[in-house]
Chain A
Amino acid sequence: MSAASEQPAENMALLVADSIGYVIRGKTILTEVSLQVHHREIITLIGPNGAGKTSLIRILLGLTQASSGTVKRQNNLRVGYVPQGINVSDVMPLRVCDFLNVTGLYSVEQCQQMLAEVSCEYLLTSPIQNISGGEMQRVLLARALLKKPQLLVLDEPASGMDIIGQQGLYESIRNIRDKHDCGILMVSHDLHLVMAATDRVICLNTHICCTGHPDDVSEHPEYLKLFGDAIDGLALYSHHHDHEHDIHGNIVASEHCHSCEHNENAGDDHDHDHGRKATQDKK
C-alpha cells in the first residue's frame, strides 16, 4: 500500500485554483485566491474566523460556485472530505458501518480495518447518533480514507476532540499522507499544533496574506499582524522535550478513555509543551 517511492505525476497539481473570487449578498468573502495542491503535499489553511477558509474549501470541492476565477481538478480526482462536525439525521437508523459503507463498495473487513486505523474499531455497529463529536471526526476520516483519496480535505479535523486527541491527530497527518499516498489540504485554528505537521501554510484573510514553509510564515509580518495574540503562546511551542506519557495520560484520563492514538508515536520525540493549554482556548 505504501509503495509510493516515486511520485507518479509529480509536476501535475491535483488541484489548481486560479484567482478565485467569492461574493455573497454584496459581501466579499474571497478575492484573487490562487493556490495549487500537489501530490503528497500537506497544506494548512489558517486564518481568523470569517477569513473565508470554509468558503474556499467548499469552492475547491465544488460544493459552492465561485463568483469568479476557476478551479481545475485532475480528471476523476478522488477526494476524501472531512467536514467540520456534521449532523446526521436522527430519524434515520444508521450504524457507523452503514455510514462508512453507504455506497456498498466496501467489505465489513475494510470498514473495520479503517476504523482501527483511526482507533475507533469499537464503533463499528454503534448507532451514529450515539457517538461523540470527537469520535464522529474520526469516523468521518475513516470514511474519507476508504475512498483511497488522492486528495484529502480536512476542515478543522480536530474540532470536538480533546487535547490529546488533537495532538494525536496532527501527529498522524504525516503518517496518513505516507500510508495513503495523498495530498492533504486542511483548515485549522490550532496553529501551534498544526505547524509541525505541514509542508506549506497558507494564511488567508479574504485574500492570501502570505504563504510558505511554516517557519517562514510564522515570521511574516502579515501573519504576525493576524495572530499577534497567539504568538506569545507560540514561543512556548519551540520548546521541545521528551516527556512521560503516563503522567500526561493520568492528567487527562478522566475525560479520555482511549489513548491508543498515542501508541503509534510512543517514544517519538514530539513537540509537547505544558504552556499550550493556555493558548488552546481561542477556538
Chain B
Amino acid sequence: MIDDFILYALLAGIALALVVGPLGSVVVWRRMAYFGDTLAHAALLGVALAVASDQLPMAGVGIIGVVMAALLFWLEKQRDLSTDTLLGILSHSALALGLIVLSVLQSQGFNINLMSYLFGDLLAVDQADLLLMYGSVLVILLVFSQILSSLISISANEELARIDGVAVEKIRFVFMILLALVVAVALKVVGILLITALLIIPAATARLFSKSPKQMVVMSVLVAIAAVVLGLYSSMKWDFPTGPAIVVSASFLFFISRLLNRSDT
C-alpha cells in the first residue's frame, strides 16, 4: 500500500545513496569537500542554462560540472595558486553567473521554480527521472569500480602511487567527472544546496566503523540508505521538506554514532 510517488522517491533516494557513499568516501579521503561545494554552486548555472536551452536540468548540471572539473584541472597545473583559492574563484564565479542567467530568464518570462532546484523535489520524481538516474548510477559505479584501487593508492600517498604506475592525473580527472555526474543525480533528491552534505556525512559516519577503505565504501552506502529512509519517513510523518529531512537524518546518524562510540570506549 505504498503510493507510487513515495516508492519513486524511495528508489530515487536509494539511487543517490548508491553513489554518494563510494564517491563521498573518496571525497573524505582526498579532502575534496570544497570541490563538491563548487560543483553544487555551479549546478545553478547548469540548471539555468538547461532551462534557457530547453534541455533537462540534470543534463545541464552534469555538463557544467564537467566543465568546472576541466577548468580546475587546467588551473591547478599552473601551480601558483592553491586549490582552495582556485575553487573559491570557480565556485563564486559560477554562482554569480548562474544568478545573472536566471534573472535574465525570469525577465524574459521563464517560470523557474528556484526552490525546487535549491532544495530538491524528491516527491516529484517520475519514472523517466528514475530511469535517467539509475542509468547514470550504473555508469558512475562501473567506472568507479575500475578506478577504486588507484583512488585508494593515490589517497594513501600520491608519490608511491605514481611510482607504482598509477596515472595519477588521469584518475583524478576521471574522479572529478564522476563527481559532477553525482551532483546531477542528486539534483532532484536533495537539491543544489545540500549535495555536499550527502557526499560527506554518510562517509564520515562510516569512517568510524571501518577498518579498510573498501569497508568504508560499503558502510557509507548503508548509512546513506538509512538516511534516505529515515528522511523520507520523517518527511511523510511530519511533513518536512524531503531533501533537508534526508540531510538532517544523515547528520543525526553521524552524531548518534559518535556519541555511542564514545560511550563504548
| Alpha-carbon gap, A99 to B211, bound state (A) | 12
- Report whether A88 and B149 are in contact in the complex, using a CB–CB cutoff of 8 Å: no
Separation in Å of the A67 CB from the closest CB of chain B?
15
A93/B213 contact (C-beta < 8 A), A102-B153, A103-B149, A103-B153 known: yes
Q: Indicate if the CB atoms of A95 and B156 lie closer than 8 Å.
A: no
- Judge whether A94 and B156 touch: CB under 8 Å: yes
Q: When the two chains form their complex, are residues B213 and A94 in contact, meaning their CB atoms are under 8 A apart?
A: yes
**Interface residues in B215-252 (C-beta closer than 8 Å to A):** 215-216
Contact B207 A95 (CB under 8 A): no
How many residues of B sit at the interface, in one of the four size bands? 20 to 34
- CA–CA, A89 and B149, complex, Å: 16
A254 to B155 Cα, complex, angstroms: 36
Contact A89 B160 (CB under 8 A): no
Instruction: Name the distance in Å between A176's Cβ and chain B's nearest Cβ.
Output: 18
Instruction: For chain B, residues 116 to 170, give those with C-beta under 8 angstroms from any C-beta of chain A.
Output: 149, 152-153, 155-157, 159-164
Q: Is A89 touching B159 in the complex (CB atoms < 8 A)?
A: no
A103 to B137, CA, bound (A): 25
Interchain CB contact under 8 A, B153 and A93:
no
In the complex, the answer to whether B210 meets A61 with C-beta atoms within 8 Å is no
Q: Are B210 and A83 in contact (CB under 8 A)?
A: no
Q: Please name all residues of chain B whose beta carbon is closer than 8 Å to the beta carbon of A128 when the two chains form the complex.
A: 156
Point out the residue from B156, B161, B162, B163 that lies within 8 Å of A92, measured CB to CB: B156
Contact B164 A95 (CB under 8 A): no
Q: How large is the interface on A (under 10, 10 to 19, 20 to 34, 35 or more residues)?
A: 20 to 34
Q: Which residues of A contact B164 (CB under 8 A)?
A: 102-103, 147
Chain A residues positioned under 8 Å from B28 (CB to CB):
91-92
Which of B31, B156, B162 is the one whose CB lies under 8 Å from A99? B156
* Contact between chains at B216 and A93 (CB < 8 Å): yes
B212 is an interface residue with CB less than 8 A from chain A: yes
A98-B212, A103-B153, A104-B149 known; A93-B160 Cβ under 8 A: no
Q: A86 at the A/B interface (Cβ < 8 Å)?
A: yes
Interface flag for A223 (CB, 8 Å): no
Closest to A99 in B: B156
Residues of B within 8 A of A102 (CB): 149, 152-153, 156, 161, 164
* Contact status A89-B163, CB under 8 Å: no
Q: Does A81 contact B (CB under 8 A)?
A: yes
Q: How many Å from the CB of B13 to the closest CB on chain A?
A: 26
CA A1 – CA B212 in complex, angstroms? 32
Selected contact of B155 from candidates A62, A81, A92, A103, CB within 8 Å = A92
Q: Which residues of A contact B162 (CB under 8 A)?
A: 62-63
Residues in chain A near residue B149, CB distance under 8 A = 102-104
Q: A83–B156 Cα gap in the complex (Å)?
A: 13
* B contact residues around A143 at 8 Å (CB): 160
B149 — nearest CB in chain A belongs to which residue? A104
User: Are A83 and B216 touching (Cβ within 8 A)?
Assistant: no
| Contact call A86/B212, Cβ cutoff below 8 A | no
The contact of A95 among B29, B153, B155, B212, by CB within 8 Å, is: B212
Instruction: Chain B residues near A86: list those with CB within 8 A.
Output: 157, 159-160
A79 on interface, CB distance cutoff 8 Å? yes
Chain B contacts with A in 143-202, Cβ cutoff 8 A: 149, 152-153, 155-157, 159-164
Known: A98-B212, A102-B153. A91 touches B29 (CB 8 A): yes
A127 within 8 A of B: yes
- In chain A, positions 54-99 with a C-beta closer than 8 Å to chain B are 61-63, 79-81, 83, 86-89, 91-95, 98-99
What 0/1 readout, one digit per residue, does chain B (27-40) give for beta carbons within 8 Å of chain A? 01101000000000
Give chain A interface residues in 116-159, CB to chain B under 8 Å.
Answer: 125, 127-128, 143, 147
Nearest Cβ in chain A — how far from B254, in angstroms? 14
B211 pairs with A88, CB closer than 8 A = no
- CB-contact partner of B213 in A87, A98, A125, under 8 A: A98
Indicate which residue in B157, B160, B161, B211 contacts A127 across the interface (CB closer than 8 Å).
Answer: B211
B31 — nearest CB in chain A belongs to which residue? Answer: A91
Chain A min CB distance to B92 (Å): 26
Please, how many angstroms separate the alpha-carbon atoms of A225 and B149 in the complex? 49
Closest beta carbon of chain B to A133's beta carbon, Å: 15
A162 to B157, CA, bound (A): 25
B156 contact set on A, CB distance < 8 A: 88-89, 92, 94, 99, 102, 128
Q: Which of A61, A79, A91, A93 contacts B212 (CB 8 A)?
A: A93
A93: which B residues are within 8 A, CB to CB?
A: 207, 210-213, 215-216
Ordered by A's residue number, 21 sampled pairs between the chains whose C-beta atoms are within 8 Å are: A63-B162, A80-B163, A81-B159, A88-B156, A89-B29, A89-B156, A91-B28, A92-B216, A93-B207, A93-B211, A94-B152, A94-B156, A95-B211, A95-B212, A98-B152, A102-B156, A102-B164, A103-B149, A125-B211, A127-B211, A128-B156
Binding site for B on A (CB under 8 A): 61-63, 79-81, 83, 86-89, 91-95, 98-99, 102-104, 125, 127-128, 143, 147
